[in-house]
Structure 1
Amino acid sequence: MLWNKCIQFYFHLPIFVRLLLSVCLIMLLFGYIIHMIEPTHFPTFFDGIWWAFVTGSTVGYGDYVPLSTLGKTIGIILILAGGGLVTFYMATISAATIKHEKDLSEGKVSYKGTKHLIIIGWNERTRQLIDMIKTSHPYQDIVLLDQTKNKISYQDHSIHFIKGNPTADDILQKANIHAATHVVITSNPSLKENEADRQTILNTIAARGNNMEITIVAEILTEIQRKNAERAGANVIIRSNDFMSSLFFQSIFQASNIATDIIAKTLEQQQFCTIPIDQSLTSQTFRSCAQQLLENNKSLIGIIRNGEIIIHPSFELITKEDDQLIYLKSF
């Protein structure tokens, strides 16, 4: 009964562990046999093991060699049995390594880390976002979840790719959404605006259903779906069409690229940040807060009060305890 359990346990081990265990057992066995057959030339058990590994791996240093006919016969058997097994072991490791890297590139491997960021949807905005994150937060782990892309170079992007439907629970669990901190849901550029928003809302519902505490940032294209995205569980909603419309307006009526260049440079060199107001800054004027943050190379541009974003308020505005400060910070 015990022997059967040992055999079952052995065959349930990963193939690498089984092969390594088999190699070690064979080398121990032949090391013990040669030590018993020729104790003069192999005075210790370890000397026998050393000879077995050197011979079985076909390295052949020649510092220990059997002299008797029986010992040489054992050496021949070891070369035939152990050498082939060691070669097979190394070939298996090499093949498995290549297959694992291929599976990573094709999005077949589950993510095991924690405190990571999940991005749903691959497009140009996603690529730029990943570049910005890797520049400002190089140690932030990113998991990309997309069902349209077939392959992503693991080395080029330094992200973990998972291919699949972002509304499927098993795919979200492969991304380890339970241990993630944020989910960013981008709009699908290949769909019409209403269809893209509906897909974003479905993705939001699926993400919220798998993690009630995670922060979800969703891109919505039409104003009519904004409330639905909030009901679905999105914490932050980004209206990219509003931003693009503003850029078009500035380009038309400024009759130059100055406005768009300024915005592009701002986004390239600085990032928007929000923090709860420090107790030392409460009950002070906006001007005083801006001056104090400027000493730490932070440009205060607004506040969030009762859920309302106020950009460039009056310098005489008095801050309150529940305010959040909006500032720009250089990368």
Structure 2
Amino acid sequence: MTGKLIKLIFFRLPTVVKLLASVLIIMTIFGTMIHFAEPGRFPTIFDGIWWAFITAATVGYGDYVPLTTIGRLIAIALILTGGGVIAFYISSIAAATVQYEQNLMKGKIDFKGKGHYIFIGWNERTRQLIRLMAEKFPDTPIVVIDRTEKKILYEDYPVHFIHGDASDEHILLKANIKEAAKVLITANTSKAEKHADSFTILSILTIRGTNKDIPIVAEILSKTYVENALRAGASTIIRSNDFLSTLLFHELSHQVASTPFEDILEILKRKQFSHMPVTKELEHRSFLEASNLLMLQGYLLLGIIRENQYKIHPPADYILQKGDILLAFVSWQRKEI
């Protein structure tokens, strides 16, 4: 029974480990044989094992050399068997290294770090954000989850890629969602708005099921899905369509003296419009107090939504209540307090 268990454990080991074990066993056998065949030339078994490794690896220092016929026959057998095993072991290590790099590039390797940001969705917005993060927060690891991209080269983007569906708990665990710092979900603009937002909400629900406390920033395309995303557990909602509509309106109606198109684009690169629920910290505070607190975090509070009614820039003493939704500009370069 013990023998079968040992065999079972051995065959379940990685190929490289099994090859290393085979090399050690073969070198030990030949080292022991040469020691007993020529004890004068090889005083200890370790001397024999040393000679076996040097001979099989074709290094040939020449410090130990068999002189008898039996000793030379052992050397010939070692060269024909042990040399091939060592060569196969070295080539297997090289092949395993190449395979690991291929799997890493194709998003098949689990992420083992912690305190990282998870970006869901691979698009131009994500790529620009990765460049900003690399400039401002180079020490923050980034994990990208995407089901459409086939591979992402680390040389091009310093991220750990996980290929798969972010609404699948198994994929989130591969990204180590339980020890992540934040999650960003970008909308798939190649899909219909309804389908893109539905996937975003499903991803939020799955994330909340694995990590109930992690902040989730989600991009929603359709206004009708904002509250669903908040109920699903999103911490902050970004509505990029609001900016696009405002930008188009500005370009249709602006005068010559108005802010140039390029300046508006520069502003939009730094700011995003967000919806987020009132936190316990902000409940029962005045609009002015909430504005000051949020400003320290990089938010510019514009107004609130209460019972589906928009209240833009309410009075300073307007009291926030549980269930209110805050409307604010948010900068990606904000600092946490």
TM-score normalized by the length of structure 1 = 0.79
Q: Which residue of 2 aligns with 1:276?
A: none
Judged with a 3 Å threshold, the aligned counterparts in structure 2 of structure 1 residues 62 and 266 are, in CA distance, closer, same or farther, namely farther
Q: Distance in 2 between matches of 1:88 and 1:5?
A: 26
Q: Distance in 1 between matches of 2:128 and 2:23?
A: 49
User: 1:83: Cα distance to partner?
Assistant: 0.7
User: 1:301: Cα distance to partner?
Assistant: 7.9
User: 1:79: Cα distance to partner?
Assistant: 0.9
Q: Distance in 1 between matches of 2:272 and 2:304?
A: 23
In the alignment, residue 48 of structure 1 is paired with which amino acid?
Answer: G
Q: Secondary structure at the match of 1:154?
A: coil
Q: Distance in 2 between matches of 1:58 and 1:92?
A: 18
Q: Which residue of 2 aligns with 1:89?
A: 89
Q: Distance in 1 between matches of 2:334 and 2:228?
A: 34
Q: Secondary structure at the match of 2:111?
A: coil
Q: Secondary structure at the match of 2:217?
A: strand
Judged with a 3 Å threshold, the aligned counterparts in structure 2 of structure 1 residues 306 and 31 are, in CA distance, closer, same or farther, namely farther
In the alignment, residue 109 of structure 1 is paired with which amino acid?
Answer: I
Q: Distance in 2 between matches of 1:327 and 1:174?
A: 29
Q: Distance in 1 between matches of 2:272 and 2:265?
A: 11
User: 1:70: Cα distance to partner?
Assistant: 0.8
Mapping 1:176-195, distance limit 5 Å:
176-195=176-195
Give unpaired runs (5+ residues) of structure 1: 273-284, 318-325
Q: Distance in 2 between matches of 1:117 and 1:258?
A: 35
- Kept in 2, the 8 Å contact 1:270–1:329? The answer is no
Mapping 1:147-162, distance limit 5 Å:
147-162=147-162
Q: Distance in 2 between matches of 1:163 and 1:85?
A: 36
Q: Secondary structure at the match of 1:143?
A: strand
In the alignment, residue 65 of structure 2 is paired with which amino acid?
Answer: V
Judged with a 3 Å threshold, the aligned counterparts in structure 2 of structure 1 residues 8 and 329 are, in CA distance, closer, same or farther, namely closer
Judged with a 3 Å threshold, the aligned counterparts in structure 2 of structure 1 residues 84 and 100 are, in CA distance, closer, same or farther, namely same
Q: Which residue of 2 aligns with 1:262?
A: 263
- Kept in 2, the 8 Å contact 1:143–1:162? The answer is yes
- Kept in 1, the 8 Å contact 2:27–2:53? The answer is yes
Judged with a 3 Å threshold, the aligned counterparts in structure 2 of structure 1 residues 257 and 177 are, in CA distance, closer, same or farther, namely farther
Q: Distance in 2 between matches of 1:129 and 1:214?
A: 19
Residues 243-287 of structure 1 show CA distances to partners (whole Å, capped at 9, x for unaligned) of 222333443415478444335445768999xxxxxxxxxxxx99x
In the alignment, residue 117 of structure 2 is paired with which amino acid?
Answer: L
In the alignment, residue 26 of structure 1 is paired with which amino acid?
Answer: I
In the alignment, residue 98 of structure 2 is paired with which amino acid?
Answer: I
In the alignment, residue 200 of structure 1 is paired with which amino acid?
Answer: T
Residues 174-227 of structure 1 show CA distances to partners (whole Å, capped at 9, x for unaligned) of 222222221111111111223222221122122212221111110011222111
Judged with a 3 Å threshold, the aligned counterparts in structure 2 of structure 1 residues 69 and 270 are, in CA distance, closer, same or farther, namely farther
Q: Which residue of 1 aligns with 2:229?
A: 229
Judged with a 3 Å threshold, the aligned counterparts in structure 2 of structure 1 residues 300 and 74 are, in CA distance, closer, same or farther, namely closer
Q: Quick one: percent identity of the two aligned structures? A: 46
Give unpaired runs (5+ residues) of structure 2: 274-287, 318-329
In the alignment, residue 239 of structure 1 is paired with which amino acid?
Answer: R
Q: Distance in 2 between matches of 1:56 and 1:215?
A: 57
Q: Secondary structure at the match of 2:156?
A: helix
Q: Which residue of 2 aligns with 1:110?
A: 110
- Kept in 2, the 8 Å contact 1:37–1:71? The answer is yes
Q: Distance in 1 between matches of 2:21 and 2:305?
A: 62
Mapped pair 1:135 → 2:148 = no
Q: Distance in 2 between matches of 1:267 and 1:30?
A: 72
In the alignment, residue 240 of structure 1 is paired with which amino acid?
Answer: S
- Kept in 1, the 8 Å contact 2:105–2:152? The answer is yes
- Kept in 2, the 8 Å contact 1:301–1:311? The answer is no
